[in-house]
Amino acid sequence: MGRGDKKTAKGKRCQGSYGKSRNKSKIKARVKASARPKAAPAAQEPKTEATA
How many CA within 13 A on the CB side of residue 29? 5
Number of domains within the chain? 1
**CA–CA distance, 48 with 52 (Å, rounded to integer):** 13
Which domain covers residue 5, as residue numbers?
Answer: 1-31
**Does residue 44 lie within any of the structural domains?**
no
Say yes or no to pLDDT of 21 above 80: yes
Torsion of CA 39, 41, 43, 44, to 10 degrees: 140
**Does residue 52 lie within any of the structural domains?**
no
**Does residue 21 lie within any of the structural domains?**
yes
Give the model confidence (pLDDT) of 38-50 as tens digits: 776 667 777 777 7
Give the model confidence (pLDDT) of 26-38 as tens digits: 888 888 888 877 7
Contact 35, 42 (CB under 8 A): no
How many CA within 13 A on the CB side of residue 41? 3
Q: What is this structure's pTM? A: 0.45
